[in-house]
Structure 1
Amino acid sequence: MGTTDGSTARFREILAVREFRAIWLAELQSVLGDQLARVALSVLVFQRTDSAAWPALTYALTYLPDLVGGPLLGGLADRFPRRAVMVTADLLRALLVAVLAIPGLPLPALAVVLVVVQLANAPFSSAQAAMVPVLLDGSRYVLGQSLLKMTNQLGQLAGFALGGAVIALIGPGPGLAADAVTFGVSALVLALGVSSRPAADVRVDRVSTVRRLAAGAGTIWRDPRLRVLVGLAWLAGFVIVPEGLAVPYAAEIGGGAATAGLLLAAHPAGIVLGVFALGRWVPDAVRLRLVGPLAAGAVVPLLGYAFAPGLGVTVVLLLVSGACAAYQVTASTTFMRLVPDAERGQAFGLAGSGLIAVQGIGLIAGGVVVARLGSPSVTIAVIAAAGVVTAVPIALAWRRTYRSVTS
């Protein structure tokens, strides 16, 4: 249901949908607040422990709970009204992040509260992902997800560029308080801007969480299209390795913290460019056909790390990889459209937690391999080679199955 007068009108069209606009506005300010909070937490913990290990562990705690929360709590987005799930999760996070801002909070208590904050992210993300295809149909849905993805990546870029400076100016406590406010604002925007709908799963006899997990996994496993889409998404486990080794690689090519910052920003910038280009110039049918080649293309440029090129060439490699990684938007939107509405929250939770898991495995593998090989550049290239070997058969499988998506 796109327009005929170009991409600008199409973006304007989806933002004219009041409920989607509310979801986008809530996402915009929440992403900025979350990036600020991650920096604030790392600074706060480092100030109190004078240890490099504790900030790294704290940063990991902002991701790891999703491994559990996705499968166990994602189904709440199907069992309860999705607007209520999002608003409740936001209010809970606003309260808990405000607790994190309390001066002198013991570190064990801080860790526990942080884990609960991240657990609340799982039902929110599942509810949001399941609601967007209800609000937008056809190509508008893909464009809406593209806008949310670009917003998320631009928020990360802003966090890399400005987070440290802002926290240095206002301090970690006020930074956490600002994040709490963003959650409260998000809850208000969603409550006022999104209509209430009944739960998608209207079965009276509620099944157990274990049975819901099994049913969700069965839905994915029985459909070869869903299996391939999950495999394509999980290739991110290979693509994330340069992020984990950005600092030692920067040192290897003669750079420092500024070089590492540019390397960390390059891949998200490439994703923004790729998402915008696919949304603006590529028709839906072509986007679907390109998912497989682009998935492989996200890994192939990383083979160039084998030559330990200078900063300029490496940034180009990461930009190309990020632009190709924009296929994730098409893969995720296609996945959500193929899953029945009553199971979307659970399916998203399972696939999303798996995505986080493979990214964690990729980062761990990078650390283990670089300890053996000693060279970050060779490590990234070796893991990229394994990624290409993995990506090619999955891309070929998509070539055999994608036509059934449009049939």
Structure 2
Amino acid sequence: MTRASDRVSFLGVLRIREFRALWLAELLSVLGDQLARVALAVLVFQRTDSAALTGLTYALTFVPSLIGGVLLAGWGDRRSRREVMVTADVIRAVLLALMIIPGVPLWVLCILVAAVTLFAGPFKAAQQALLPDVLPGERYMVGMAIRNITSQSVQVVAFAGGGVLVAVVTPTVGLAIDAATFAVSAILIWRGVRWRPTPARVAPLGSGWRSFAAGTAVGARAVWRDPALRTLLALNWLAGFYIVPEALAAPFAASIGAGAAAVGWLMAADPIGSVAGAVVFGRWVPEPVQVRALGLLGIAAGVPLVLCVLRPGLAPAIVLFALSGMLATGYNIQGTVSFVRRLPDDQRAQGCGLNSSGLITVQGLGALAAGVLADLVGPAHAIAVAGAAGALVAVPIAVAWSRAGRGAAPAVVKGAV
């Protein structure tokens, strides 16, 4: 049994120079991206006075990452992962700089937005594939908890402060700040992360788009043929059910007679719960216990949402949403850690890309289905149905994990506090 004194601390992980560079680079990118989303929405609406075009531009800050995460993720298995991240950052900085040129046509702006989002996929895949090398053993789990805490916190702050900043300055300045964050991120990674060679077992797959397609197929087969990887993928994709409270925050607030300010609190409940979950599970719950409890946590995350059938008021709803977010973080962080550890090194980036791309897809589909259902039965009942469905779907996943998960995560190496 792991003693408290043997566990790796948050501060101990932050002392690792390579992780600190990756962590700061990610924080800058998240902060800049969220600010840029606000700036783009304001800029397009100012130019067009069209809510539809504003929504389309906002969607372009998410959707192309699906393509990048699937087709370009293998780039991180065929090149130095530091090189992939730096290149993706530089490309995104240049594309954002082009957006601030006065008089850029709207259609060109949309193409540039899509291209920026496209390169988020290979960057994230390479980053996730590199982290187990930077943080061996138990440090990896703690590092993932730190990333979750800070990225969730930064998103809340950036969304809240982004609107104020864009109102004080201009949307163009907001885009320029985002370009600068990518440039600084590239410098941090280049200076702070040591070069590592391409994974040794990568087989030649040809060149061009056929090469990327072949790499995608190889990565998908590697995941599909391993029962533990399939189960972990399904576990992570339960987010398609548990995203529903955030997606229905506005109609839920209206249904209980709460004002517009309540929408922000309801949307912030899940990230707040996620931060709490990262602290609890990342620091106080031993990793072997988390591995065994993955399936149960997947089921438990849906239970608080089922209680929304009682049409709770604002305060109880916030508590229920936060509790669900905390439990979901318990399985999500450890599920991702176990998934990445089990992937072969030469297919790790491709597998990470498939996981994150699928996660975005199921969340989009879950939000869409929830909106349709809410029109039929009301938002409170739609949230309750999503929670019940998530818990029910998690039952066979939990059973499969109990069969396939033994040995899914290698023995962790104890680090110093």
Calculate the TM-score normalised by the size of structure 2: 0.93
Task: Tell me, yes or no, if structure 1 residue 194 matches structure 2 residue 193.
Answer: yes
- Among 356, 361, 382, the alignment partner of 2:365 is 361
Q: Go from structure 1 to structure 2 and tell me whether the alpha carbon gap of 1:144 and 1:54 turns closer, same or farther (over 3 Å shift).
A: same
1:290-312 Cα distance to aligned partner (Å, 9 max, x none): 21111122222111222221110
Contact 2:36 2:175 in 1 (8 A): yes
Deviation at 1:151, TM superposition (A): 1.7
Instruction: Provide the rounded CA distance (Å) in 2 between the counterparts of 1:363 and 1:64.
Output: 14
- Among 387, 392, 395, the alignment partner of 1:389 is 392
User: Which residues of structure 1 form unaligned runs of 5+?
Assistant: none
Instruction: Provide the rounded CA distance (Å) in 2 between the counterparts of 1:55 and 1:36.
Output: 15
1:164-214 Cα distance to aligned partner (Å, 9 max, x none): 112111221111111110000000111110111111155462342222222
Task: Tell me, yes or no, if structure 1 residue 169 matches structure 2 residue 162.
Answer: no
RMSD: 1.7
Contact 1:266 1:319 in 2 (8 A): yes
Q: Go from structure 1 to structure 2 and tell me whether the alpha carbon gap of 1:103 and 1:258 turns closer, same or farther (over 3 Å shift).
A: farther
Task: Tell me, yes or no, if structure 1 residue 78 matches structure 2 residue 77.
Answer: yes
Partner of 1:347: 351
- Among 328, 331, 340, the alignment partner of 1:336 is 340
4+ aligned runs moved over 3 Å, structure 1: 2-7, 201-204
Contact 2:202 2:346 in 1 (8 A): no
Partner of 2:182: 183
Report the AA paired with residue 103 of structure 2: G
Corresponding residue SS for 1:325: helix
Instruction: Provide the rounded CA distance (Å) in 1 between the counterparts of 2:104 and 2:248.
Output: 32
User: Which residues of structure 2 form unaligned runs of 5+?
Assistant: 411-417
Q: Go from structure 1 to structure 2 and tell me whether the alpha carbon gap of 1:250 and 1:333 turns closer, same or farther (over 3 Å shift).
A: same
Matches within 5 A, 1:5-404: 5=5, 10-203=9-202, 205-207=204-206, 208-326=211-329, 327-373=331-377, 375-404=378-407
Corresponding residue SS for 2:9: helix
Contact 2:96 2:179 in 1 (8 A): yes
Report the AA paired with residue 97 of structure 1: L
1:317-371 Cα distance to aligned partner (Å, 9 max, x none): 1110110111211000110100011100111111111111111110110122223
Contact 2:200 2:346 in 1 (8 A): yes
- Aligned pair count reads 404
Deviation at 1:50, TM superposition (A): 1.8
Instruction: Provide the rounded CA distance (Å) in 1 between the counterparts of 2:200 and 2:268.
Output: 40
1:2-50 Cα distance to aligned partner (Å, 9 max, x none): 995476x621221121111110111111111111111111111122222
Contact 1:87 1:190 in 2 (8 A): yes
What is the percent sequence identity of the aligned residues?
Answer: 50
Contact 1:244 1:363 in 2 (8 A): yes
Instruction: Provide the rounded CA distance (Å) in 2 between the counterparts of 1:318 and 1:81.
Output: 40
Contact 1:6 1:280 in 2 (8 A): no
1:242-290 Cα distance to aligned partner (Å, 9 max, x none): 2111111111111232100011111011001101111111111001112
Q: Go from structure 1 to structure 2 and tell me whether the alpha carbon gap of 1:202 and 1:257 turns closer, same or farther (over 3 Å shift).
A: same
